[in-house]
Structure 1
Amino acid sequence: MPSSGNHGQAPESGPNRRAVMAAGLGTVALSTTGLSLFGAGPAAAGTSAAPHLGKDAWHRYVQAPSSTTVRPVKTLGTTGRVTRPDALLKPGGGVTVLNRPKPPESPKWPAGTTAEASSAHAGNQGNDGKPRTYVADNAIDGDPDTFWNDDTSAAFPDILTITLPEARALPGLTLISNSDGVPEDFTVETWQDGAWKQTASVTKNSAVQRAVPFDAPVSTAKVRITVTADQDSPKGAFTRVNEVWPEPLEPVEAPSVTIDFGKVVVGYPRVKFTSASDNSPGVRLAFSETRQFLTDRSDFTRADQAGGTGRGTDQFAVPAKGADWKDVKGFQAGDKVFADGLHGFRYLKITLDALDTDAPAALPWGTVSIDSVSLEFTAYLGTPDTFRGWFLCSDDDLNRYWYGAAYTNELVTDTFRRDDVDPRNAWSESLEGKLVLQDGAKRDRDPYVGDLAVSARTLYLTHDDTAEAARNVLADLADHQRADGWIPPASINNYTLPLFDYPLWWVTCSWDYVLYTGDRAYASRYYPQLLKVLDTWYPSVTDDAGLLSKGLNGTGGYGDYAFLNRTGRITYYNANYVQALNDAASLATWLGNEGDAKRWSARADNVAKAVNTYLWDEAAGAYLDSATGPVRHAQDGNSIAITSGIAGSERAGSALDHRDRTTQLRYGNAFMDNDTIFGGASQRVYAFTSYPEIVARFDSGRAESALDQIRRTYGWMDSHDPGITNWEGIGPNGSLYEDAYTSMAHGWSTGVLPALTHQLLGAKPTSPGYATWEVRPNPASVAWAQGQLPTPHGPLGVEWTNEKNTFTVTVRVPRSTRGAVAVPTGGHRVVVRDGRRTLWDGDRGMTRGVRPDGGHILVADLGPGTHTLTVVRAG
């Protein structure tokens, strides 16, 4: 992806890129003038000395393209007849030509031939509204757009038997299948002398068109194909055979070019065709975020969830005079030649080919000449001059992870458009044309409020001038609140998707929005919805112990962020409840509704006590996932029990110790400690639920373990295809947890960014609009860090150095705000001085507002201006 200067270029990775220093801490001195923040010196990022960097040193980590026109960076390969493939990387650099001769007419079975199968999937309604069948006869009907689909409830083998009206000499067969149901292992038998005889055997097949020649022609009236394995899907796989031909025909290889955009991008692809043969040759575009799942079809298209109109690719029929084609959703000719439009992808494969059903509007042969390929980038363009918050530290890996998360979030900050959103009834007139935070670049392109619990914080810390993206979502969901108080998680299914936990995330995300922006109008406008969700709906699903219990009030079928099959008293739901109640109490206090605040705070205390009474597992030293059923302990419940204050320091430490013993993987920490909820749960990592665990580790004085978890989780994603962006989920052995369907640029996975800003750098708001704030660094082994947080009053700037015997922090405070700085002591006895005046003598404070606080010395009530505090180990 081209860019000006170093923009968009990630530095090389590896442990040798880190420069860290052991922390030795001690004395604190306070100055209201101090050092100039972000001094302009020559030292490079990654040095262990105190930073004296230019204010733009962080620019080299920014990942976004330099403009909305994005071009591929290289070609990865070609198939068939292709000349000058590299010419399409930039306009005017020559012409790439794809050529394919007209294929021979496909052979046909004699009239009266029939087919039967061991099983067939039930029919359904196609995208055109007409009934669709998957019966065996589809494999011999001469129409490659129909197919036999076995019933996956039946185990292998899948058997297709073809019966001719009379014996015929067959030289072999050709098997045409769907790319998502390719028979990998199968045998071919023919009926001879009153018995089945094996005529051919195929293993490890991956070809959509597979010729199966016989050793010698066989005279037979029956052919049986037995499938024993399907490609890449050994369990519950579909067998999908579109056609069987009575001759072995090798395919004429379709010419194609595969190009790489260098990282995940999102928007409308554009292809500039200079010319074509006069037979309307078709091209098919396949997109993928990873090379693993780039085949002859895309890793995912929205059409897949709306009936499969394009059969996994976007189509275009090239006019003889050429065209500057922008891939937008719709048909090119009547009901033929369909394109899906916007895509999130890294890799693009362009093939001279066409669907059989698109003839004669598009044909799979001819000649096509291409001048260039580009992308019209639609998401938020996060170039260095748009960042209002930034971060930089001595650990090069952490810098890459922070800006990788920023870029991931930029990819999901986009306008809500009818043609681009999830096709499962997610379009909403009330959101059309508004800036929103989608959940993923490629899918599901719909704003989910649970995702905002992470992605909105990432937005507020990087591009807070687009905070409207979060507000638009929160307000829209509140406007669709159900009569009983339940708030929908997203617009999908016409705002009816039943999730149990997401109304709680709406409360917390509403408080977050107000906390970062100070938007009193939003708080006042939607306070009635807040009352209704907390005082009507959640009490309706509360049991006699005061705990939320999924199953009450008809909620047994409700899901959650992972659609987990858990019912009854669940730690995660109740920890979320405590968090939401306390957040609501803070908002109520700010609005002057003290009665509501006291009631919600009291309820939060009662729920917290009940969680500790009924859901703590003394034997494991951790909170149970569920009070009933198999014993397991989940990341979500244990982490939020700590961050919400349910767990005291002793139980917090015990729960984190349990997770250290049971969930550590080389690619992060698993979200469950065993597989009792589903197979492979103990090997699955969600960055979404890893975020509160990372925060819990920082806040529990385990900063080094928090950094270790960050390096394993985000280091894995950063160093594996597609690189840079944050995955929706990681599966066993570090795989894509839902294969090709997995979103590789997902906003809910960007928690590394707020964790590094709020917990490592240590700066965060403590009241709406940053009227008050706190800086509480947790440096661990990081030598230095600096950054800026955008506030409604101007930037809050922080830098600190962590050397052997000293720790120095400088804070630049914006107007109209006040805050506190808590400097780490590292367990050492410290002395605090203001110039020559002692403020803390190692045992007690010598002036007002200076006191010990959780392994830190707190200096309170700092107003606008620049302040420098230095800690020196006491002698």
Structure 2
Amino acid sequence: MPNVPTGEEPRTPGAQRRTILKAGLGGAAIAATGLTLGTAGPAAADAAHHPAPPRHAPKSWQSYVQGPSSRTVRPTGVQRTSGAVTGADALLKPGGGVTVLKRPQPLAPPRWPDGTTATASSAHAPNGGNNGQPRTYDAANAIDGNTDTFWNDDTMAAYPDTLTVTTAGAVSLAGITLLSNSDGVPSDFTVETWDGSAWQPAATVTGSTSVRKAVPFAKTVSTTQVRINVTADQNTPQGEFTRINEVYPGVLPDDDIPRVVVDFGKVVVGYPHVRFASASGNSPGVRLAFSETLQFLTDRSDFTRADQSGVASGGTDQFAVPAGGADWKDTKGYQSGTQVYADGLHGFRYLQITLDALATDAPAAQPWGEVAIDAVWLDFTAYLGTPDSYGGWFLSSDDELNRYWYGAAYTNELVTDTFRPDDIDPRGADSPTLDGKLVLQDGAKRDRDPYVGDLAVSARTLYLTHADAAAAARNVLADLADHQRADGWIPPASINDYTLPLFDYPLWWVTCSWDYVLHTGDHGYAAHYYPQLTKLLDSWYPSVTDTDGLLSKGLNGTSGYGDYAFLGRSGQITYYNANYVQALNDAASIARLLGHRTDANRWAARARTVADAVNAHLWDADAGAYLDSSTGAVRHAQDGNSIAITAGVADATRAAAALAHLDATTALPYGNAFMDNDTIFDGASQRVYAFTSYPELVARFLSDQADSALDQIRRTYGWMDRNDPGTTHWEGIGPDGSLYEGAYTSMAHGWSTGVLPALTNELLGIRAVSPGFADWSVQPRPGSVEWARGQVPTPHGPITADWQHSGHGSFTLTVKAPHGTSGTVAVPTDGREVTVEVDRHQVWNGKKGTGYQAALHGGYVTLEGLGSGTHTVTVRPAR
């Protein structure tokens, strides 16, 4: 889910600091846009590595499975090398030689003369601490000779940001060299020198990405002042700002630091291993940087927990190699006292190995010498999804849909892992009640904490693929209920010691609890946590209900509460109230299961009251869509409109109008935006969340707009599949298809896997109707797809469906159901008069039913009471 703003790091004006990210859940085809993968934005930079294959008839579902075959995962290729690196390909062939990195001892850089001072137009205020010492970011750090300190400008001020170095007497300069921090490289800047009466231009730099940048002057000058004017910075995980560690008086030669980048083929997660065959005797340091994309692979990782915990790691994991070599497993902690730190577990696709060391790690690690590496691999920690582990599967005539389904399954496997204190979000997320348990986390690389809203999608994905791991969802739901607040509110996650205030996530706890019981039949869970359910719905949410009968954020001290995207919404919000309707109806289902009829009737009645109030106060007749909020700027959100449809708030007429509005206002080449304008924040109408796209996909299928849903799937998931890192599903997509929060964006996020339940539940058509699939339904919504088949695991055994759609009223469906279950089947008529047979016996003659209570409903012939075993339903045009 997107993050909790903390204000600890500088950002460009109007931007929020990204720190705790979290969230949860519940098109017509685009004409020529002029956008191509090569020009769509930063995320498309590696699109050539993932060309879109043609649709074709697949061979087997097993061929699409993405998970590794074992927990030892090795790189698949070498992306690049620099500096003195030999034998890089040996990293791909265990026992096939060694890769050697060499670096001579660097010469000491030149120093400014005594008495030199530095000033700046701004400096960021101290924040946090470094091993107990306060961090300072003032200009003097840029000339102190310590490469681990830096000047950090205050980016709330407008460009240019200036750094001025003043000497006591004139110095002769042929140029300067800037050593920057890898998360604050000035990309565009000018250098000026003082001639005694005015500033004179000396050099101009544009588009720099170099941490160490030599800037020669056109001619040697004698001066007492040098001024650096920064006009643009790189977009980094922490934002856009300048961090200059040192300004050296002279043009230093290139320092060819040895680096090798290996590619694991797709995002993986676990503990990296490097086996060193040997090393020189000076304790040469090795630094590991990790990234899910090539775009954000620099001399620091795209994300590291050390940035959040306050450990000074330089954004990399460090190791000092002993002369005899070592078999090093990257685990969290220091190698030597309080020096040479590594973060341990990482989620990444690309790994950069560099012969280098932090200045603060000397003498335990030195930035020069020689190391020989004979193997690199990963100890994969997440759920190991092999063909044998899949209890559910999917296959269709469309190769693209198949890839997206198994990409979602793999993404979800990456976030199904054991909760371990060293590997999770360091910001107060550790909990003794979760330690050692299997959980569904939100992301592979971050935040690595279970959020209940994310489970609204990821748990459904889990139940449909690996039902044997359903405890990963139960453990989270039970733990959050066990930490219920005295007033009834249920925390969204363990982060901040279970105190992160979100307004919508307790509703997702209700819906996710019903989802869990529905798919697993676990009556014991429902009975045990029924008191928490009652307290939440009858105490806390009534305390934030206004006189119109609607939830209103701001009541009862909730003005500062967030939601899945930490949006600045207040008052009556369609999304919150549509979610409320869904939660009340789901709670009523739990109450009926447990025999609490009075509660069930009361909650169902309240759901109807809230739905009526949503339609009375939040429907915008002029736009033909639900307002995001009843007050403030007029906008219409994907979340509220979609869930209003899936929760039954909208009737068929309003549902059609709302979907038409989203078609007209939110369709993009990379999915559908979650807002129809930018009144909530700049760029909102260009942001896509697969999380909130999932209910829209379901709404389109339920509204008999299957091809519209398929078009949206192909745009959203096709974009992610084709662009680096490929296969896995992103937390969010930003303008022009970019990573919506730069390098901080999680590229393997469980809440984005909604394509899988959408294809299984809606396109293939298999759904649970009562707990444990004692009652089930199969209602395919094929659209233009020619055939599909698949399986869903249940406590009674698997349910399979296999259908072919020839169009024009011709359809064949075979269902195989386990013993002890019964269900309903609905088959499409394509708007024609048809006959229907079950196992070669006619049950619908085109006008009326002759078996299985056959009836015509909205373009489908429904059949009741099909028992266990195999049944074939055949639809033919009536003669």
* Bucket of the pairwise TM-score, normalised by the shorter protein: over 0.9
1:380 equivalent to 2:418? Answer: no
Q: In 2 relative to 1, CA 836–445 (structure 1 residues): closer, same or farther, beyond 3 Å?
A: closer
Partner Cα distance (2:474, 2:802) in 1: 30
Q: In 2 relative to 1, CA 537–787 (structure 1 residues): closer, same or farther, beyond 3 Å?
A: same
Partner Cα distance (1:269, 1:234) in 2: 22
More divergent stretch after superposition (854-863 vs 534-543): 854-863
Residue 510 of structure 1 aligns with which residue? 513
Secondary structure of the 1:852 match is strand
Partner Cα distance (2:502, 2:240) in 1: 29
Q: In 2 relative to 1, CA 784–16 (structure 1 residues): closer, same or farther, beyond 3 Å?
A: same
Equivalent positions of 1:835-874 (< 5 A) are 838-847=842-851, 849-874=853-878
Secondary structure of the 2:572 match is coil
C-alpha contact 2:838 2:872 (8 A) present in aligned 1:
no
Structure 1 residue 160: Cα displacement = 1.3
C-alpha contact 1:146 1:242 (8 A) present in aligned 2:
yes
Q: In 2 relative to 1, CA 758–835 (structure 1 residues): closer, same or farther, beyond 3 Å?
A: closer
Aligned-partner residue type, residue 529 of structure 1: Q
Structure 1 residue 127: Cα displacement = 3.9
1:428 equivalent to 2:428? Answer: no
Counterpart among 687, 692, 709 of residue 689 in structure 1: 692
Structure 1 residue 65: Cα displacement = 0.5
Deviations 1:834-862 (A, max 9, x none): 56754222222223522122321111111
Q: In 2 relative to 1, CA 806–377 (structure 1 residues): closer, same or farther, beyond 3 Å?
A: same
1:797 equivalent to 2:792? Answer: no
Equivalent positions of 1:341-490 (< 5 A) are 341-490=344-493
Residue 826 of structure 2 aligns with which residue? 822
Partner Cα distance (1:567, 1:348) in 2: 43
C-alpha contact 2:450 2:494 (8 A) present in aligned 1:
yes
Deviations 1:167-186 (A, max 9, x none): 22233221111111111222
Q: Which has the higher contact order (CA 8 A, sep 6+)?
A: 1
Residue 717 of structure 1 aligns with which residue? 720
Structure 1 residue 546: Cα displacement = 0.4
Residue 809 of structure 1 aligns with which residue? 813
Partner Cα distance (1:235, 1:417) in 2: 26
Residue 30 of structure 2 aligns with which residue? none
Partner Cα distance (2:343, 2:238) in 1: 30
Secondary structure of the 1:272 match is strand
C-alpha contact 2:549 2:610 (8 A) present in aligned 1:
yes
Partner Cα distance (1:772, 1:550) in 2: 38
Deviations 1:558-617 (A, max 9, x none): 110011101000000000000000000001000100000000000000000000000000
Structure 1 segments (4+ residues) deviating >6 Å: 233-236
Deviations 1:431-466 (A, max 9, x none): 001000010000111000000000000000000000
Deviations 1:690-733 (A, max 9, x none): 00000001011111111111111111111111111111111111
Structure 1 residue 191: Cα displacement = 2.3
1:580 equivalent to 2:618? Answer: no
Secondary structure of the 2:422 match is coil
Secondary structure of the 1:16 match is coil
Aligned-partner residue type, residue 619 of structure 1: D
Partner Cα distance (1:824, 1:69) in 2: 47
Counterpart among 207, 210, 215 of residue 207 in structure 1: 210
Partner Cα distance (1:538, 1:687) in 2: 27
Residue 142 of structure 2 aligns with which residue? 139
Secondary structure of the 1:831 match is strand
C-alpha contact 1:635 1:672 (8 A) present in aligned 2:
yes
Aligned-partner residue type, residue 410 of structure 1: E
Aligned-partner residue type, residue 17 of structure 1: R
Structure 1 residue 200: Cα displacement = 2.5
C-alpha contact 1:477 1:487 (8 A) present in aligned 2:
yes
Partner Cα distance (2:443, 2:130) in 1: 24
Counterpart among 604, 608, 625 of residue 607 in structure 2: 604
1:85 equivalent to 2:93? Answer: no
Structure 1 residue 533: Cα displacement = 0.8
Structure 1 residue 247: Cα displacement = 1.8
Deviations 1:71-94 (A, max 9, x none): 000101100011110001121010
Residue 124 of structure 1 aligns with which residue? 127
Counterpart among 748, 753, 778 of residue 750 in structure 1: 753
1:706 equivalent to 2:709? Answer: yes
Partner Cα distance (1:420, 1:16) in 2: 39
Residue 50 of structure 1 aligns with which residue? none
Structure 1 residue 204: Cα displacement = 2.2
Unmatched segments (≥5 aa) in structure 2: 1-48
Partner Cα distance (1:384, 1:97) in 2: 38
Residue 149 of structure 1 aligns with which residue? 152
C-alpha contact 1:578 1:644 (8 A) present in aligned 2:
yes
Counterpart among 313, 316, 335 of residue 313 in structure 1: 316
Equivalent positions of 1:84-103 (< 5 A) are 84-103=87-106
C-alpha contact 2:237 2:742 (8 A) present in aligned 1:
no
Partner Cα distance (1:832, 1:563) in 2: 50
Structure 1 residue 194: Cα displacement = 3.0
Residue 743 of structure 2 aligns with which residue? 740
Partner Cα distance (1:493, 1:99) in 2: 44
1:172 equivalent to 2:210? Answer: no
Residue 36 of structure 1 aligns with which residue? none
RMSD (Å) for aligned C-alpha atoms: 1.6
Partner Cα distance (1:463, 1:847) in 2: 36
Deviations 1:339-389 (A, max 9, x none): 111000001111111111111111111101000100000000000000011
Structure 2 length normalisation: TM-score? 0.93
More divergent stretch after superposition (216-225 vs 810-819): 216-225
Secondary structure of the 1:842 match is coil
Structure 1 residue 187: Cα displacement = 2.1
C-alpha contact 1:504 1:580 (8 A) present in aligned 2:
yes
Residue 19 of structure 2 aligns with which residue? none
C-alpha contact 2:838 2:874 (8 A) present in aligned 1:
no
C-alpha contact 1:155 1:236 (8 A) present in aligned 2:
no
1:771 equivalent to 2:809? Answer: no
Structure 1 residue 286: Cα displacement = 0.7
C-alpha contact 2:839 2:871 (8 A) present in aligned 1:
no
Structure 1 residue 116: Cα displacement = 1.2
Structure 1 residue 830: Cα displacement = 1.7
Partner Cα distance (1:777, 1:576) in 2: 26
Partner Cα distance (1:539, 1:408) in 2: 37
Unmatched segments (≥5 aa) in structure 1: 1-10, 20-43, 46-56
C-alpha contact 1:90 1:373 (8 A) present in aligned 2:
no
1:255 equivalent to 2:293? Answer: no
Partner Cα distance (2:391, 2:746) in 1: 27
Partner Cα distance (2:778, 2:841) in 1: 23
Deviations 1:255-283 (A, max 9, x none): 11111000000000000100000011111
Partner Cα distance (1:307, 1:369) in 2: 32
Counterpart among 151, 165, 173 of residue 162 in structure 1: 165
Structure 1 residue 236: Cα displacement = 7.3
Partner Cα distance (1:620, 1:395) in 2: 35
Equivalent positions of 1:548-627 (< 5 A) are 548-627=551-630
Task: Give the aligned length.
Answer: 830
Equivalent positions of 1:7-18 (< 5 A) are 14=52, 16-18=54-56
Q: In 2 relative to 1, CA 834–503 (structure 1 residues): closer, same or farther, beyond 3 Å?
A: closer
